Amino acid sequence: MQRASTMTAAGLVFRRDLTLAWRRWDEVAQPLIFYVVVTTLFPLATTPDLSQLRVISGGVVWVAALLASLLALESLFRSDVEDGTMEQWVLSGQPLGWLLLAKVASHWVLTGLPLVVMAPVVGTALGLPFDAWGTLVASLLLGTATLSVLGGIGAALTVGVRRGSVLLSLLVLPLAMPLLIFGSRAVGMAMDGDSPAGPLQLLAAIFFLTLSLGPLAMSAAIRISVES
Amino acid sequence: MWLWIHKFGSPPHAYRLLGKLAPWFGWSALALILLATWWGLVEAPRDYQQGDAFRILYVHAPSAWMSMFIYVVMAVAAGIGLIWRIKLAHAAAAACAPIGASFTFLALATGSIWGKPMWGTWWVWDARLTSELILLFLYLGYMALRSSFDDPQRADRASAVLAIVGVINVPIIHYSVEWWTTLHQPASVTKLDKPSIAIEMLYPLFIMIIGFQLYFGWAISRRLRGEILRRERNAKWLQEAA
Amino acid sequence: MDLQEFFRMGGYAGYVWTAYGLTAFVLLLNWLAARRCESQEQENARRRSRAE
């Protein structure tokens, strides 16, 4: 049998995950609902005054997106490791990093992207002005994508651990703090009328760095988890 | 060089060597720490602005230094263990974690205590303290990951990957926190830096750092010997020697 | 400076002594823990060889 090219294999993985998720619609919706619920907590906990909420709106949207993404990441590799698919991938001879990246990409499309789309809506509810929408979406696009890769590393390390979700968050959140700093600051600057180019460029740099080194760490982590 | 590493990587050899080194580390550490303490508390002149409170520098700064130094050592050891599959290196990384976390906690606590008389609050989100806090989270995450596996090999290798990912992130985290504080820092707030002062006031600082380093060497030697005994319990050399 | 002044630390006594005390405490704990790590394993090894 002819060995498929890496791109074909990765593409198949990507499509298969999307198809599987399509059948489990509610699982995809849950992080999104969590996201909206968490953002609702902040006005309830502080004040309904939009002018006060506006000050922290960028930060709140970002934190909620972080938490919602992390919640969904725990199960990223679980089912594939449990049913032996992952072992097949490790043995397949295809570069494992690409296959894992395809999985992360499909996961991002299903969880990260909806969060980004929802963000202006949720932000406006917190007083975020329309002018900042573009920066909010741009920063979250980069941020959630980076987080998916970082979370993928964490998920690969913690496959099969009891209550792995909490451990995963504990491991990934400190690494995600720079993203949070630059992302929410970009939104803040856009709200003040300054150019957010600086932090957005830093976010992009972190994204590309993570994209290049992330799959390496992920495949190392998966091998460790599967071979033990 | 490689021969030396492989020789040192052999557990019985390392066990004996560390046993011989430990007392040297231990006693010199004690001597230097006491010397630095006395020098810092008694001999060094009072600071013009901060009075005697600045003496906290002599325990705060060395703790912060050690917290970062040990993290790097831990990551390097973990990396060596991962790449060359040397179990001793993994054991060394494991031994580093609690010591490093202790120093991080100490840096945070002494930094906080120092902050109260200086700025009036027990906590301040300045670059140094915030970075130390995040470093503490990294240490705790490392230790949590290690303890969540029963299989020691998986624990070693998974935590090694985490340590390496962490150490690559540390510069990014540092830079982002620096950036974050410069945006909001009012000009009146002074940084928890070494006061710009005469070199004589820094001598106790250097001596304390060396003292802490030797202390770290002692603690690692003892812990590593314990780890070796535990990991090698079924090995012949141990059964013959015991 | 005399002993009285030394302990007062220019009014910052509480802060300075707490900081140094905490440092001593942490170093002490690590000293005990490291020692115990080694001695406990040595005891285990001895016990194992005796059992054979």
Interface membership of C47 toward B (CB under 8 Å) = no
Distance from CA of B96 to the nearest CA of A (A): 18
Q: Per-residue pLDDT averaged across A30-58, rounded?
A: 93
Domain count along chain B: 1
ipTM of predicted complex: 0.90
Report the b/e string of A132-160 with b at 16+ CB within 10 A.
bbebbbbbbbbbbbbbbbbbbbbbbbbbe
Residue A168: pLDDT over 90: yes
Residue whose structure tokens are 């600082």:
B205
Question: Of C23, C26, C38, which has the smallest distance from its Cβ to B226's Cβ?
Answer: C38
Q: List residues bridging with B51 in a β-sheet.
A: B47
Q: Per-residue pLDDT averaged across A196-215, rounded?
A: 96
d(CA B146, CA B95): 12
Instruction: For residue C33, give its domain range.
Output: 3-51
pLDDT digits (tens, 9 = 90+) for A112-159: 999 999 999 999 999 999 999 999 999 999 999 999 999 999 999 999
- Average of per-residue pLDDT values in chain A: 92
- Average of per-residue pLDDT values in chain B: 88
Q: Which residues of chain C have pLDDT under 50?
A: none
Chains with at least 3 CB pairs less than 8 angstroms from chain C: B
List Cβ neighbours of C47 (8 Å cut-off, separation of 6 or more). none
Domain count along chain C: 1
Q: Per-residue pLDDT averaged across A34-45, rounded?
A: 94
* pLDDT at B188 (0 to 100): 40
- Using the beta-carbon criterion (under 8 Å), do B161 and A221 form an inter-chain contact? yes
Instruction: For residue B226, give its domain range.
Output: 57-232
- Using the beta-carbon criterion (under 8 Å), do C15 and B116 form an inter-chain contact? yes
Asked if the structure places residue B51 within a domain, the reply is no
* pLDDT at B201 (0 to 100): 80
A153: chain B residues, CB-CB within 8 Å: 161, 165
Asked if the structure places residue A1 within a domain, the reply is no
* pLDDT at A134 (0 to 100): 95
* pLDDT at A57 (0 to 100): 94
Q: Which residues of chain B from 134 to 153 reach within 8 Å of chain A, CB to CB?
A: 134, 137-138, 140-141, 144-145, 148-149, 151, 153
Asked if the structure places residue B42 within a domain, the reply is no
Distance from CA of C29 to the nearest CA of B (A): 9
Q: Per-residue pLDDT averaged across B18-46, rounded?
A: 90
pLDDT digits (tens, 9 = 90+) for A50-76: 999 999 999 999 999 999 999 989 889
* pLDDT at A2 (0 to 100): 54
* pLDDT at B193 (0 to 100): 52
Asked if the structure places residue B28 within a domain, the reply is no
A175: chain B residues, CB-CB within 8 Å: 165-166, 169, 173
- Using the beta-carbon criterion (under 8 Å), do B161 and A224 form an inter-chain contact? yes
Q: Which residues of chain A from 139 to 198 reach within 8 Å of chain B, CB to CB?
A: 153, 157-158, 161-162, 167, 170-171, 173-175, 177-178, 181-182, 185
Q: Is B50 helix (H, G, I), strand (E, B) or coil?
A: coil
Report the b/e string of B55-72 with b at 16+ CB within 10 A.
bbbbbbbbbbbbbbbbbe
pTM (predicted TM-score): 0.91
% of chain B residues with pLDDT over 70: 88
Distance from CA of C19 to the nearest CA of B (A): 5
By CB neighbour count within 10 A (0-12 exposed, 13-18 middle, 19+ buried), where does B180 fall? buried
Q: Could you give the maximum distance between any two Cα atoms of chain C, in Å?
A: 64
Chains with at least 3 CB pairs less than 8 angstroms from chain B: A, C
Asked if the structure places residue A136 within a domain, the reply is yes
% of chain B residues with pLDDT over 90: 64
By CB neighbour count within 10 A (0-12 exposed, 13-18 middle, 19+ buried), where does A72 fall? buried
* pLDDT at B189 (0 to 100): 41
| Token couple for B235 | 């090995």
Residue B241: pLDDT over 80: no
Domain count along chain A: 1
Distance from CA of B149 to the nearest CA of A (A): 7
- Using the beta-carbon criterion (under 8 Å), do C15 and B60 form an inter-chain contact? no
B165: chain A residues, CB-CB within 8 Å: 153, 175, 217
Residue B186: pLDDT over 50: no
Between residues B181 and B72, the one the model is more confident about: B72
Are the CB atoms for A124 and A193 separated by under 8 Å?
no
CB pairs under 8 A between A and B: 74
> What is the pLDDT confidence band of residue B7, given thresholds at 50, 70 and 90?
low
Q: Per-residue pLDDT averaged across A152-172, rounded?
A: 92
pLDDT digits (tens, 9 = 90+) for B49-61: 777 788 899 999 9
> What is the pLDDT confidence band of residue B184, given thresholds at 50, 70 and 90?
low
Chains with at least 3 CB pairs less than 8 angstroms from chain A: B
Distance from CA of A125 to the nearest CA of B (A): 26
Q: List residues bridging with A89 in a β-sheet.
A: none
Residue A179: pLDDT over 70: yes
Q: Which of C38, C42, C49 to mutate to test the interface with B (most CBs of B within 10 A)?
A: C38
* pLDDT at B84 (0 to 100): 93
Give the DSSP per-residue string, A75-130.
Answer: TTTHHHHHTTHHHHHHHS-S-HHHHHHHHHHHHIIIIIHHHHHHHHHHHHHTT--G
> What is the pLDDT confidence band of residue B4, given thresholds at 50, 70 and 90?
low
